[in-house]
Structure 1
Amino acid sequence: MHLFTRLCGLIALVAASVSTHAGTPEQAALEQFHQSIKVGYNTLTTETSTLLRAASAYCEEPTTNHRKALNKGWLDAFLAWQAVRFVNFGPVENNNLAWQFQFWPDPKNLIARKAKTILKAEAPVTSNLIEQSGVAVQGFPMIEFLLFDEQQSIGQDALPAPRSCELLIKVAEHVNHNTEALASQWSDFRPHYLANALYQETTLKAGMTALEILEERRLAQPMGLRGNGRRNPYIADAWRSGNSLKAAKAGVAGLQNHFLPGLTTLLDARGESSLASRIRAQFNKVADNFPAADAPMQTLLGDDDRFRALQGLYVDVSQLATLVNDEAAVALGVIRGFNSSDGD
């Protein structure tokens, strides 16, 4: 949790700076959104740099300590991505960057298929190969496969096999390069973002869509509350590493840090301070009541007692989504299409 402790401190400094220099509430909100997301992108860049160094160190000297550092490096970087994953506009749209960071959902297990194809091929694993192999190869899920997939870990290509190490390092390089580009492009995007009032609604819709996806795809579908009614941990993201819930919790923390301050600034300006307070309280309730976030989703889905705790979390998230996507949307005049998370 040290990553998010540092991040919260940085966000507080950003908020103080914005409140000092901003003009109208709308301008203040845009400043809050942009500056806070910038902090998130910079944090992501720092963590992917650490991941790349850890991957190189492990493949050079595959000790137990280096492997622990590599696993931690992946998780810290992946969670840093979750914190800004809700941003679905601006530079992250360039070259399908969001998909490059995280190819999900993956109903056809394309990540495993692509990995096996590359590992069995004879062509050198180069940066050009990664760029040409598609988004299923280029991001955090591919590294997760190499680190945590059960079948992969017992095969002849298991890390630290030379070719798997080559793939690991090249994907880590690709992710780090993309985060550096994203952070730089977001900074350059600032004048356009602040000058265009439409980005207020765009940013609000991005946060609202993220809550929809959390409720429907990251919780309801694996829990069997949608579709065929069967519990299925394998349709959640980060299932190989057992970090589905930890990732969801990091996404909530990201919304609290990067989305909530601007949202409540706008609500306060519309005379909706009571609603803003209720939303803050519900965000805190969701964050505080994540059931066993360190446990794999499969563990909670397989035990009825623990599943009830997961149901409680789902209810909390649903109530938060109602407050933000219904009540706040109406208060701020945000018009949203039906089920806007479709096709995400």
Structure 2
Amino acid sequence: MKKTMIALGLMSLMTGLTGCNENQEAVSATIHQQHVKAVGAFTEAARELESTVETLCQANTDDHLAASRAAWQVLMQDWMVLQGREKGSEAALALTWQIQFWPDKKDITGRKMAQLLAQSTHWNAALLADQSVAVQGAGAMEWLLYAHPEQLKQPQGCEVATAISQRLTQSGEALIEAWKANPWQAMTPQLALSEYVGALTNQLDFAMKKLTLPMGKPGHPRPYQAESWRSQTSMRNLKANVQAMQSLYLAEGKGLDALLRAQGEIALADRIAGEFDSLIAGWPQTASMGALLKTRDGYRDLIRIYNSLEYIRFALHDEVSPALGIVVGFNATDGD
């Protein structure tokens, strides 16, 4: 009788573990598809930017400049979904810096762009690929579209802009290739789950860094350290980061939120979901972080956002991981 009860107990445990593994395998597939969709959107945005830049260089009007700026902003919003995760496809991670060179504490982008334009070279995407990553991505395009649009009235400026837009399209197409295979498929379900949580915490850390660099010390902000300060869209980008993290956390009803609820951690799941909801609902109206850094109320808003992100990160590391039996290692921003 005792042996029978032990055997039944073991069978019950194995059934539970099998169900858990199946849920985690479903999570892996869902997260992979989220990345596939995100890189597809980014690549389509890059192609649209390339098209608008080509039109701008053919007929340089205020309307064409506005269209190129709008296309660039869509590209950035789509990039924010992937920015800072540092997990998954190694080939995709290798493309990060050429897509966006940030942080750029010494304005390397500005200096490299000025040097590029001073040369008599007829620039194209192939030649640009051999240059600094600072001139191959979204930051270089922002420099032209927002800080120095007068360069786009010159043949050299248009050649550089066209080369950058083509290079961004190439990077997007390389991302699509890099994400065709599911990098977590060969892992054990538990290891894949650890990678999933790691991707979320890495993105949280990166978003918090995007706040702390320009915030500096109280009374001594550094607005030129903000991402996309030339276009004054830092806060819009950061909100897109937060929305992407919320989507990653939920994973279409198959993510961490669902796993926590299945484990009976209802209160914890509610707290994290609620923190995401309130953070997005209370987001400042301005698209510019520089504007917020100029006032005490604006600075307080940034502190509030930082504290919310820190709370979510703490909950993931100290509560979610133990609840789901996950070991989370060092992340991409440790040691900075």
Structure 1 284/85 Cα, relative in aligned 2: closer, same or farther at 3 Å?
same
The residue number in structure 1 matching 2:153 is: 160
Closer, same or farther: CA 183–122 of 1 in aligned 2, 3 Å: same
**Aligned partner letter, 2:222:** N
Is the CA contact (8 Å cut-off) linking 1:91 and 1:182 kept in structure 2? no
Is 2:86–2:199's contact at 8 Å kept on the other side of the alignment? yes
- 2:333 counterpart of 1:341: yes
Query: How much has 1:94 moved relative to structure 2?
Result: 4.9
- C-alpha contact 2:226 2:290 (8 A) present in aligned 1: no
Residue from 232, 239, 254 that aligns with 2:229: 239
1:292 aligns with 2:285: yes
Q: Determine what percentage of the aligned residue pairs are the same residue.
A: 30
Cα 1:23–1:202 change in 2 (3 A) is closer
1:277 aligned onto 2:267: no
- CA change 1:76–1:181 in 2 (3 A) is same
Shift in Å, 1:72: 0.3
Alpha-carbon spacing, 1:104–1:266, altered in 2? closer, same or farther (3 Å): same
Unaligned runs of 5+ in 2: 1-19
Match of 1:330 among 319, 322, 325: 322
Q: What is the 5 A alignment of 1:184-203?
A: 184-187=177-180, 189-190=181-182, 192-197=183-188, 198-203=191-196
- Residues 23 and 203 of structure 1: CA distance in aligned 2, closer, same or farther (over 3 Å): closer
Shift of 1:229: 6.5
Quote the residue 1:16 is aligned against.
none
Using the TM superposition, give the Cα deviation of residue 76 of structure 1 relative to its aligned residue in structure 2, in angstroms: 0.3
- Residue of structure 2 equivalent to 1:113: 111
Instruction: Decide whether aligned partners of structure 1 residues 89 and 101 sit closer, same or farther in structure 2, where only a CA change above 3 A counts.
Output: same
Distance in structure 2 (CA, Å) of the matches to 1:229 and 1:306: 12
CA shift for structure 1 position 338 = 6.1
Deviation at 1:305, TM superposition (A): 2.7
The 10-residue stretch of structure 1 (132-141 or 262-271) with the greater mean CA deviation from structure 2: 262-271
RMSD, aligned CA = 2.2
User: 224, 235, 240: which one pairs with 1:250?
Assistant: 240
Paired residue type of 1:247 = N
The 1-side partners of 2:162 and 2:317 are apart by 40
Of 311, 323, 326, 2:303 maps to 311
CA distance in 1, matches of 2:285, 2:145: 22
Alignment coverage as a number of residue pairs: 312
Residue deviations 1:98-124 (CA, integer Å, cap 9, x gap): 111111111121111110111001121
Whether the 8 Å contact between 1:249 and 1:293 is mirrored in structure 2 is no
- Find the counterpart in structure 2 of residue 58 from structure 1: 56
* TM-score between the two structures when normalised by the length of structure 1: 0.84
Question: Once the two structures are superposed, what CA deviation does each residue of 1:106-159 show, in whole Å capped at 9, x if it has no partner?
Answer: 11211111101110011210222211002111110000111112xx346xxx22
TM-score, scaled to structure 2: 0.86
- From the superposition, tell whether residues 278 and 328 of structure 1 become closer, same or farther in structure 2 (CA, over 3 Å): same
Q: Structure 1 CA distance, aligned partners of 2:89 and 2:292?
A: 37
Structure 1's unaligned 5+ residue stretches are 1-21
> Who is 1:74 aligned against?
72
Corresponding position of 1:212:
205
Give the corresponding residue for 2:125: 127
Instruction: Verify the 8 A CA contact 2:184 2:192 in the aligned structure 1.
Output: yes
Q: CA deviation at 1:277?
A: 2.0
Q: Deviations for 1:179-224, whole angstroms, at most 9, x for unmatched residues? A: 122123312x12x522322332122101101112212x11123222
Distance, in Å, in 2 between the alignment partners of 1:203 and 1:297 is 29
Give the conservation status (yes or no) of the 8 Å contact 2:92–2:178: no
Deviating more after overlay: 275-284 vs 65-74: 275-284
2:27 counterpart letter in structure 1: A
Q: Tell me what 1:3 maps to.
A: none
The alpha-carbon deviation at position 323 of structure 1 amounts to 2.0
Partner of 1:141: 139
| Cα distance in 2, alignment partners of residues 169 and 92 from structure 1 | 28
**Amino acid of the structure 2 residue aligned with 1:176:** T
Larger radius of gyration: 2
